[in-house]
Chain A
Amino acid sequence: MSQALSFANVSSPIAWQGKRAINRAQLLRDIAGALSQLPEADFAINRCTDRYAFLVSFLAVALKGQTNILPANQLQQPLADIASRAAGRMYCLQAHPDRDRHPAINTLTLKLDHPSSTPAVISIAPGAVAARVFTSGSTGQPVMHSKTWQHLLAGSQALTAGLGARLPAGASLVATVPPQHMFGLETTILLPLLQELSVHSGRPFFPADIRAALAAVPAPRLLISTPVHLRACLEAALDWPELAGVYSSTGPLSQSLAQQVGQRLACPVTEIYGASETGAIAWRNALAGDPWRLLPGMQLQLAKPGQAGGVLLRGPQLSQPVELADQLELLDEQRFKLLGRSREVVKLAGKRVALGELNQRLNDIEGVQDGVFFIPDEADEDRSQRLLAVVVADRISDAWIRQQLARHIDPVFLPRSIVRVAHLPRDTTGKLPRSAVAALLK
């Protein structure tokens, strides 16, 4: 049986459009108003950029028994590509109906100024597939994952329980991550449905936009972001409103960047670990560089007992165990260290090291703004391939970088050459496809 989602206090705000508060009673009327505008279909490609419009339409689509398809990258994944990945009748919700039309897909913009006088009841079948999300992979082709309503709720409940006091009651969230991304969906859409939290409806991009969004909402304020945006905020000459916390995900946050952010914004910095397949699964205090803490109700188990590395995850948000793409060192039942991506293990002279660890060490060096190790292509597979490092840094020498790396890593893994660049071609979520680095080196 589906149990309706109920709010303890319908007059508490759930969203901020500019400085205007939208309470939960209004949300329920807006959902009812949106429901009457949705066409009959199987799928709704939900490209709403305004976070409140996304929240309303996400729930209306699920209530109508349809599935939200959430494109990870708004601009780079055209409708034609999405349409080829799902069989069924579909339409597209977006703010600008004229952008990226597709002959077979009807595009519509919901009118949010048509609230119904009768509030909607958020009663969605637990097993209904409420969303399909894409892995924004550096692995090439995007892969789609189905999320049932009960699994989405279970994942966010675990996140709430794990973070505890790090999510202060009544906090306002400002996020640079899109709601279509699993991290953004869990933190900025599902958490406010489960807890007394409200979310700014914008998706601020420039540091000055982020600052303005934070200033528009009441304290306690939380910033939900990525290493890329946090670095930009740090370098902008701006005064920041009082913050209760910063959350970072989607890519490794080096301890040195975390500490600078913590100092500048004078608040705790929490890093979340997760993936599109699993949602958030662990968190850590990024200032201290602590080990990761698994969220309550989730379990990790070595895929091959007695052999470090590949790990299976079980949890209330999953219908079956998922093998994680990363290598983990399990410290006890609740804590682990991240060793790096399994597919990115470097083997040289009989020694192995995770590329992720090398990158972490490189980025931990003071004066390195960004950096990545690169394994050059070799025609002869038997020949040892020496590594290359691509680095953004203007004030330090190559010798100093090697010297700092040599304190932590085996000499065989030291970069043979260090290439200086002005910046690395990371995407908004901080990911850096190997092909992009290769293109940079050509």
Chain B
Amino acid sequence: MQKSALEQQVAELIVSELSLDDVSAEDIDPEASLFGEGEGLGLDSIDALELALAISREYGCQLRADDKEYTQIFASIRNLSQYIEAHRTQ
């Protein structure tokens, strides 16, 4: 699956920040789900909080789930990248 430059960066950030040793950023499907058991990367809520901190450092934007569940804006690398693109300050 083809990834944009930002999507590739975000995939690398996830792999390095969460120390996903057995996953390569190149292999992550940008549309695969990040959360939930038995599918995608299987991240949990603590990963989401960690990742939010890393994204605020890297792109100068604070993640907001607002009234949605955090798993929605974080659903895939593609969704997350779109969110960053719209809110980044650096």
Residues of A that sit less than 8 Å from B by CB: 49, 75-76, 202, 204-209, 212, 228-229, 232, 235-238, 421-428
Contact = CB atoms under 8 A, between A and B. Distances in A.
Interface of B: 17-19, 36-37, 44-50, 52-53, 56, 62-67, 69-71
A236 B66 CA distance: 17
A65 B56 CA distance: 48
Contact of A427 (B44, B66, B67): B44
A214 to B, nearest CB: 13
Contacts, number: 62
A428 B45 contact: yes
A205 B70 contact: yes
22 contacts: A75-B36, A76-B37, A205-B45, A205-B49, A205-B70, A206-B49, A206-B62, A206-B63, A206-B70, A207-B49, A207-B62, A208-B63, A212-B64, A232-B52, A236-B62, A422-B17, A422-B18, A423-B46, A423-B50, A425-B44, A425-B46, A428-B45
Q: Which secondary structure dominates chain A's binding surface?
A: loop
Contacts of B63: 206, 208
Contacts of B53: 232, 235-236
Contacts of B67: 202
A423 B65 CA distance: 22
Contacts of A428: 45-46
| Smallest CB-CB A-B distances: 6 pairs | A208-B62, A422-B19, A232-B49, A205-B70, A428-B45, A206-B63
Given A206-B70, A237-B56, A426 B64 contact: no
A288 B67 CA distance: 36
Contacts of B19: 421-422
Given A421-B19, A422-B18, A206 B45 contact: no
B52 A207 contact: yes
Given A202-B67, A209-B64, A228 B46 contact: yes
A237 B46 CA distance: 18
B18 A423 contact: yes
A205 B48 contact: yes
Contacts of A424: 46
B45 A423 contact: no
Contacts of A426: 46
